[in-house]
Amino acid sequence: MPNNSLSLESWRVLRIQGEFVEAIDALTNLPPAVTVFGSARLPEDDSNYQSAMKCGKALVNAGFAVITGGGPGIMEAANRGAFEAGGTSVGLNINLPSEQDANPYQTIELDFRYFFIRKVMFVKYARGFVIYPGGFGTLDEFFESLTLLQTLKIKPFPVVLVGKKYWSSLIDWMRTTLTEEFKTIDPEDLDLFSLVDDPEEAVQIIHNHYTGVHVVGENLPRFETDEDDPTGEGTRLGKPSRKHQLPDKQ
């Protein structure tokens, strides 16, 4: 008899494929977009919520669509600013046991079962990230973006942190512990992101990069061959992991 659990595992691949297809169909014709991250727990009267609303509006006025995780808090604020400005407001919602309730300010609304598919969509259609104070999920998106930029897996785009009071201690730790003491990152890796307080400044950094006024990552190394070719998933092919075959076992 066939193993039912193995059979279900095989069919799960089609479910994953279907989720990718639905998301790509919905977002393929999206105008240039910026993804905004931040806590789902910050209320409407929080200064960061108000800032994220201004950011969403400013992004639309600068010609961008706004992408968020679709939930409450900062996500709602950015979607709300974009929605009220008459722009494209995308929510990439995730099915969770608790906390994630879709906000009502989405002109394009998608639901994801899988975090990893949702994370691909955050990057694939983005021309930049704006990252507000948040918890583990926000920190995950911040460090994933730095990893993609540092490894050249994506072409450089702006990553802008908003909120100096919130982010400064983390950046100090990255500078003193990661860079100086343990040397697990290079000093120039700290140039992969910007830190601001003003949402208008965050939008200006992204707009300047998009229009070529000031391109971020100009000092990063570049691929010199077809290894620079895009994959279609928002990433680049890069070099193969093995240049030579393993020796035959004797």
| pLDDT tens for each residue of 102-133 | 999 999 999 999 999 999 999 999 999 999 99
Residue 106 is part of which domain span? 15-224
pLDDT confidence bin for 3, thresholds 50/70/90: low
Residue 66 token pair: 């706004």
Domain membership flag for residue 53: yes
Better-scored residue on pLDDT, 126 or 153:
126
Enumerate residues 6+ apart whose C-beta is below 8 A from 113: 15, 19, 95
Q: What is the pLDDT of residue 8?
A: 80
DSSP H or E run through 161: strand 159-162
Does residue 47 carry a pLDDT above 70? yes
| pLDDT tens for each residue of 11-43 | 889 999 999 999 999 999 999 999 999 999 999
Q: Report how many domains make up the chain.
A: 1
- What mean pLDDT, rounded, does the chain reach? 90
Domain membership flag for residue 185: yes
Domain membership flag for residue 234: no
CATH number of the domain encompassing residue 27: 3.40.50.450
Domain membership flag for residue 73: yes
Q: What is the pLDDT of residue 100?
A: 66
Enumerate residues 6+ apart whose C-beta is below 8 A from 214: 205, 208
Q: How many CB atoms lie within 10 A of CB 61?
A: 16
Q: What is the pLDDT of residue 225?
A: 56
Domain membership flag for residue 161: yes
Domain membership flag for residue 236: no
Does residue 1 carry a pLDDT above 50? no
Domain membership flag for residue 239: no
Domain membership flag for residue 213: yes
Backbone φ and ψ for 132, nearest 5 degrees, come out as -95, 170
Burial label, 146 (beta-carbon count in 10 A; 0-12, 13-18, 19+): middle
| pLDDT tens for each residue of 191-242 | 999 999 999 999 999 999 999 999 887 767 665 554 566 676 667 777 766 6
Does residue 143 carry a pLDDT above 90? yes
What does the alpha-carbon distance between residue 12 and residue 74 come to, in Å, rounded to a whole number?
A: 32
